[in-house]
Structure 1
């Protein structure tokens, strides 16, 4: 059983596994920003019931990999982005050793879709890619955010918790929610799921300036057409998003743009939008429908 993996630079990745005997495939989860892989338990159990094993790690600066509240929201002093992508490779290699006959389907959520898209540009472990709540490249806003992150790092260091960048990145997400109860209602229409997120001390933290630097660098790289051309042409890709997800853009506009960019290179890119659903599809009111759709798509591409 995979439970921890040591990285070349000395970080211990905490790994969560939902195993089945002789799986049809393994779904490797790359979670989103300000959460942890333990939140995918309901999704993983639904996949287990249909013969899929699920494995995921807490990314650097998250969950048990961070190790303490002080380390949450911080990746590295410098050049943190490549480390996140290399960690996906490390976990995939461990999965291949444990399940040598099972194909790996890479699934990223939110920020995890950026890491996952970078991984399929650089690595050849994966039979398919699923992007949930994909983050689009905001273009000029990303470049302005990167400049601000660098300025804050120069003034206050990479561990400075940036309320300014937090407000610029997340501050407007709740505006589309009528009468929000919490600061995180943009995540889901399911009040219980939102309340569980709010109550989880490992979720919803303020990230560091260094974290935002690394995220903005990654967003720029992964959307570069030259890097998209590195992906294997026959890799099947599925984008799923709520059409009320502020991260993916109004009515899924940003998700559609990301899919169009990949269709210029790839032969099999699907997009599915869910009416009125918000950012966290696996915690949404209609999550059972979404689990079923993911399973049917995996069956089809396998």
Structure 2
């Protein structure tokens, strides 16, 4: 685990469109410096009373923590504090968009965020989506006892589609001469959710990107297979979520991982008709209720001791 070097306060950004259910609830914002050469943008929201647990949100490729305001709000209303951070190379964090010299740095960044923001007496949970799900599972392989539980939504274990042959050829050639070569991804809103109006209402949509470098693509591709190989080592309680109409990541791969994972406490929920972002789907209220119930059920025994 890398040590946290410094933090610096950041005043709230001036965004007039941060309204409604997608607004982060009274969040504090900071930049977290890791290794002295990367700066991670972090949001932190607390309930009015003492927090029952702390949930760290890990977003997917090309997005940013601001898209999880409604998730944070639902969890804060259940009495949990919530931490969201922009992965390096994403959102307001530093780094080249869509590129990563060392993909394992994302796992180490998650460790740094947990070390910095987890209250010492409060159980820690993760809520991770897509590439963030892969990062979270890699983290849990290496840190088996840090988290009380993890909610993993639509993890990138295997893709649900085959990229065009010419893009793969370019990427393979680039790995030999230009590993940072970036190509555009085709992630249209209809592949993410059936609720287009909800997706369009997020603040700061300019922070989205649809880029991925050759080395980052092959790191993520190999990372999914590494997770399958190390599934037995993951013993943290898990709630796995996936839509059966996800055109981005493979829900059958999530089912296969569920069978292999070493956790004794594990649940798999497949949502009929849902696409890639289950937490942004038409029935997201039901999903967030289930997530809150699942976390609360694992906090309650600790509160009684």
Which residue of structure 2 lines up, in the alignment, with residue 94 of structure 1?
A: 116
Deviations 1:5-52 (A, max 9, x none): 211251011111112242110110110011001110011011111101
Long gaps (5+) in structure 1: 171-182
Q: Helix, strand or coil for the counterpart of 1:125?
A: coil
Tell me how far apart the structure 1 counterparts of residues 72 and 219 of structure 2 sit (CA, whole Å).
29
Q: 1:196 Cα shift?
A: 4.3
* Residue aligned with 2:212, SS: coil
Q: C-alpha deviations, 1:116-170, integer Å up to 9, x for none?
A: 000000113211011111223359x79x998863421323x2332124xx36xx6
For 1:75-121, what per-residue CA distance to the aligned partner results, in whole angstroms no more than 9, with x for missing partners?
22xxx12101000100110123xx22111101110111100000000
Mapped to 1, the partners of 2:296 and 2:200 lie a distance apart of 33
Residues 1:230 and 2:233 are matched in the alignment: yes
Alignment of 1:158-237 (within 5 A): 158-163=179-184, 166=185, 183-196=188-201, 200-224=205-229, 227-232=230-235, 235-237=236-238
Match 2:150 to one of 129, 139, 146: 129
Q: Which structure 2 residues correspond to residues 206-285 of structure 1 after superposition, within 5 A?
A: 206-224=211-229, 227-232=230-235, 235-249=236-250, 252-262=251-261, 265-285=262-282
Aligned match of 1:107 = 127
Q: Distance in 1 between matches of 2:170 and 2:267?
A: 35
Distance in 1 (alpha carbons) for counterparts of 2:103 and 2:209: 20
Encode CA deviations 1:255-274: one digit per residue, 9 max, x unaligned: 21121121xx2211101122
- Equivalent of 1:287 in 276, 284, 289: 284
Q: Post-superposition shift, 1:204?
A: 3.8
Q: How does 1:42-121 map to 2 (within 5 A)?
A: 42-66=70-94, 71-76=96-101, 80-96=102-118, 99-121=119-141
Q: What is the match of residue 178 of structure 1?
A: none
Q: How many residues align?
A: 268
Q: Secondary structure at the match of 1:259?
A: helix
Give distance in 2, aligned partners of 1:105 and 1:243: 25
Contact kept? 2:31, 2:42, Cα under 8 Å = yes
How has the CA–CA distance of structure 1 residues 201 and 138 changed in structure 2, closer, same or farther, with 3 Å as cutoff? closer
Q: Secondary structure at the residue paired with 1:118?
A: helix
CA contact (8 A) 1:134 1:247 kept: no
- CA distance in structure 1 between the partners assigned to 2:159 and 2:278 by the alignment: 22
- Greater helix share, structure number: 1
Query: TM-score under structure 1 normalisation?
Result: 0.81
- Mapped to 2, the partners of 1:59 and 1:274 lie a distance apart of 27
Ranges in structure 2 where 5+ consecutive residues have no aligned partner = 1-27, 300-305
Cα 1:219/1:146, change in 2 over 3 Å: farther
Q: Deviations over 1:174-195 (max 9, x none)?
A: xxxxxxxxx3201001011333
**In the alignment, structure 1 residue 16 sits paired with structure 2 residue 43:** yes
Mapped to 2, the partners of 1:100 and 1:146 lie a distance apart of: 46
The TM-score, its normalising length taken from structure 2, stands at 0.80
1:116, 1:146 → 2: CA distance?
26
2: CA distance, partners of 1:261 / 1:60: 30
Q: Deviations over 1:48-74 (max 9, x none)?
A: 11101110211111000136xxx2112
